[in-house]
Amino acid sequence: MSRTFHFERLDDQRIVIPRHGAMRVDGVVYASAGLARRALDEAALAQVANVACLPGILGPSLAMPDIHWGYGFPIGGVAAFDTAEGVISPGGVGYDINCGVRLLRSDLTEGEVRPRVEDLVAALFATVPTGVGSHQRGLRLSREDMARVARDGAAWAVAQGHGDAQDLLYLEEGGRIRGADFGECSERAFERGRDQLGTLGSGNHFCEIEVVDEVYDEETARAFGLSRGTVTVMIHTGSRGFGHQVCTDYIPVMDRAARAAGISLPDRQLACAPIRSEEGRRYVAAMAAAANYAFANRQVITHEVRSAFESVLGRGSGDLGLRVVYDVAHNIAKFERHRVGGRDLEVCVHRKGATRALPAGHPDVPEAYRDVGQPVLVPGDMGRVSYVLVGAPRALDETFGSSCHGAGRLLSRNQAVKKGRGRDIRKELERQGVSVRAAGSETLAEEMPDAYKDVSDVVEVVHAAGVARKVARLRPIGVIKG
């Protein structure tokens, strides 16, 4: 790219934005030479530098190789803050709180599924509500139910018959962030979320049938229940209108709190509050409520996916072997313990378009995976592959236990629609062996493969950097989009 924004090459996988001006720390972006040349957005790099100006930031302001411009923080951004002196910012979490990915594995082979893939895609499209108006087919919750969902997360869905208790063993934080308080969420947030549980939504959200077409680490893949030629299902969605409204409600609250605390912001979109302030406490409680809603949402959709497979294939769930591999949040701020400057500290880690990536032996890795490490789920676009990685030790040393979350956009949605004019994206994908159903043709144009970086290039950076290691590659054969 032609650039005016100054950065330097740190090593083969990283560039550094040296501390300057109001920056309190350096900025570090994971990007190979190829990605830096083809796919680094200067506006997103400026956001990395802006985040480095926030009070209490520890270590560098980070971004993963799927970085692109976002609200306040870049998407792909990671930043950790001291809990005594630091701040929390809705822009560091995003509007879709706990947008995340869940992966299901199965005992099915591609040979068993391929002849029925169009029927399966149709059944998923009929069973899993999609699109902007999908609230019309979601569960309708009372205020009491919403409060329980906000408190209990995926466990609420399991208690209502959407899956079983075994599923909870394979979710980040067991599918429940502690400290949630539905009382800190507005009436408007309740109204927007009450009938959207169990819905996929629109935009880049999807449910995808995939085949494991490459295994890089046999031992870890076996621990995750993955083997070459078998079928998986990936679910990507978040907290729907509930989380969006929580963010919308708290941005002006945090803006006032920042001014009251005398915090000078390089960008108003970085509105924040001291973590220990009343405004910070309230946002954390409301954010956790929305995060738990998202865990419950993916749990209900998991049940819907199993039902669709059972219906089409005429086999019971146990026979299909559709069990959860893992569920990981992409947009979250969490209180975690990390070693910083030789000290073991509790810090608040903002991950916006980034996933947790913990190595073997870490106490927060599910017991079933403790000996190999935490699964890291990295979806690609509809026409290319996705990856399963595993957390590696350098993530704790360099990225506060974080890795990339996907391919990362190259084109805005408007740019993608313009590029897609006159093309039949559905037929293009079908020629590649991918059956697709979507709420509208514009969604397919917005989300076409050309709109994204090649996820293989992104994954190679974190793999080579030792942040997360490649375990398996997944090839799409059927997709539903909002």
Which amino acids are annotated catalytic? 405
At residue 18, φ and ψ (nearest 5 deg) are -60, 145
Comparing C-alpha atoms, which of 51, 28, 97, 105 is closest to residue 402?
Answer: 28
CA atoms within 13 A on the CB side of 479: 33
- H or E segment to which residue 419 belongs: helix 413-419
Nearest to 198 by CA among 324, 304, 104: 304
159 CB contacts (<8 Å, ≥6 apart)?
A: 152
Q: How far apart are CA 30 and CA 48, in angstroms?
A: 12
Non-local CB neighbours of 8 within 8 Å, separated by 6+ positions: 15, 16, 18
For residues 372 and 361, is the Cβ–Cβ distance under 8 A? no
Check residue 5 and report its DSSP letter. Answer: S
For 101, list phi and psi in degrees, rounded to 5. -130, 140
Phi, psi of 294 (to 5 degrees): -65, -40
* Closest listed residue to residue 290, CA positions, set 341, 329, 259: 329
Q: What is the DSSP string of 425-444?
A: HHHHHHHTT-EEEES-HHHH
Q: Which of 30, 97, 88 is nearest to 57 (CA)?
A: 88
E strand or H helix that includes residue 18: none
Binning the chain into helix, strand and coil, the percentages to the nearest 5 are: 40, 30, 30
Q: Which residues pair with 349 in a beta bridge?
A: 80, 334
Distance CA 400, CA 92 (A): 15
Q: What single-letter DSSP state applies at residue 13?
A: T
- Spatial CB neighbours of 243, under 8 Å, sequence gap ≥ 6: 95, 96, 97, 98, 99, 193, 290, 291, 293, 294
CA distance 242 to 135: 11
